[in-house]
Structure 1
Amino acid sequence: MTTLSIFDQSQPETARTVTENPSEIRELLAGKGIRFEQWHTRDLPADASQDQILEAYSNEVAKLKAECGFQTADVISLNPDNPQKEALRKKFLDEHTHSEDEVRFFVRGQGLFYLHFGNEVFAVLCQKNDLISVPDGTRHWFDMGPEPEFTCIRLFSNPEGWVAEFTGEDIATRLPRYEALAGASG
């Protein structure tokens, strides 16, 4: 289930707010400029290709492209048997920003976005059918867990993709990781 946990960075061991209510999650994230939606998912084969996935969601993707000026969309998929899963997880675990919005729609599986606002960190465990759009310049990091299993549609303004600008802050090392938060959600 989609979960939002809000931490005070001075007390990172305990979330002061946890909710699984999609309307409340949407409202709390909107208050920070984060777009959060839940789209209806399509029945797709487990081995669906990028083209099949993009075709299944072509209306939603076209709407976002027109509304937000995105130029391209692709699909990223990761499974527990990927031999590079450890390196890929590590790549996204440090706090960073981008010069364009980071948009992901979860076609299957789950992943954990951490969003850093002043003294607060919002940890959003996104699940199948969740769309999250992290505005450019937002301090964040992503944890896919030790056994990643997800497929996401990503949208880009720059066809070359996102370039991470790392903040050098160690905040990501002080908060509970995916294993603690995803396990707590059930």
Structure 2
Amino acid sequence: MTSIEAWFMDDSDEDHRMPHKLNPNEPVSLKELENIGVFYWKLDADIYETDPALEKIRKDRGYSYSDIITIDKDKLPNYEDKLKMFFEEHLHLDDEIRYILDGRAYFDVRDREDRWIRIAMTKGDLITLPAGIYHRFTLTETNYTQAMRLFVGEPVWKAYNRPADEFDIRQKYATDSSRACFFWVERDDSSSYMVVRLKRTLSWRYRAGSCCTRPSSCLSDSFKRPRYNRHTAALLFACRGEEREVIGLQGEEERPERPQK
């Protein structure tokens, strides 16, 4: 699969149609996008009306409704107002699915640390944003794109501007246990360590200790030991001040092999 281009954004207030890359650039991989629920396909937009690859995606994922929107000052009524609305940070109660048929555009999404990731969309790019993710949309300097909008069932156009944390779908997205990460933290005297589950996945650069996103392969055996004193507690770590759940505490004699970084 061709990888889409994405990167962490800077904090500049300049024209939001500019790339806004950091210096040096910090790219975001397709895998990292998938970890926050964003999925991507590269298709042939020239044959979108008869494309079997698109038809298969629609069938497999239940995208029964579609329409086409052209975002151009000469073709979209209330063009300026619509662009301002699209660029307001918001979420939807359903997935957002967009397929770029022509032109270019940006989708910006929040990662688990609330950092903006900019996703560059070009002709042939199909993307799905999960329900509950904060995001926004804008054109590039070309000021033009044409996109197919897809939905499961009847289209739902309602957007909820941030803050919208009261919705169940937002809470589910933010606390999805399938995106949790396990890692261990040694005490100063190296006599024991804590096995910790993050309540939300953080970027690798901010995790303390050694991490393992597949606990079944490195830590789960220790969970089954009779001597394991299982308990939970709220804990704040100095590294980021993020709340974590302490899964357990073990002594030196029970320490499993350290997971590789």
The answer, yes or no, to whether TM exceeds 0.5 is yes
Q: 1:31 to 1:144 in 2, by over 3 A?
A: same
| Alignment of 1:35 onto 2:30 | no
- Which of 2, 5, 8 lines up with 1:6 in the alignment? 8
* Higher RCO, Cα 8 Å, sep 6+: 1
Identity %: 22
In the other structure, the counterpart of 1:104 is 98
Structure 2 letter corresponding to 1:33: G
* Larger helix share, 1 or 2: 1
| Alignment of 1:65 onto 2:58 | yes
- Give, in angstroms, the shift of residue 119 of structure 1: 2.8
In the other structure, the counterpart of 2:109 is 115
Distance 2:45 2:64 in 1: 23
- Give, in angstroms, the shift of residue 168 of structure 1: 4.0
- Give, in angstroms, the shift of residue 158 of structure 1: 4.1
Query: SS in structure 2 opposite 1:154?
Result: strand
- CA-to-aligned-CA distance 1:98-140 (integer Å, 9 cap, x gap): 1111111111001110101233211112011111110111100
Structure 1 letter corresponding to 2:71: L
Query: C-alpha root-mean-square deviation of aligned residues, in Å?
Result: 2.5
In the other structure, the counterpart of 1:75 is 68
Alignment of 1:83-94 (within 5 A): 84-94=78-88
State TM-score, norm by structure 2.
0.51
Distance 1:119 1:164 in 2: 19
| Alignment of 1:142 onto 2:146 | no
Larger Cα-atom Rg? 2
Structure 2 letter corresponding to 1:80: K
- CA-to-aligned-CA distance 1:1-39 (integer Å, 9 cap, x gap): x631213xxx624626444xxxx7422311222101211
Work out the number of aligned pairs and report it. Answer: 150
Q: 1:138 to 1:91 in 2, by over 3 A?
A: same
Structure 2 letter corresponding to 1:70: Y
Distance 2:122 2:95 in 1: 19
Distance 1:163 1:73 in 2: 16
Q: 1:90 to 1:77 in 2, by over 3 A?
A: same
Distance 1:163 1:80 in 2: 23
State TM-score, norm by structure 1.
0.69
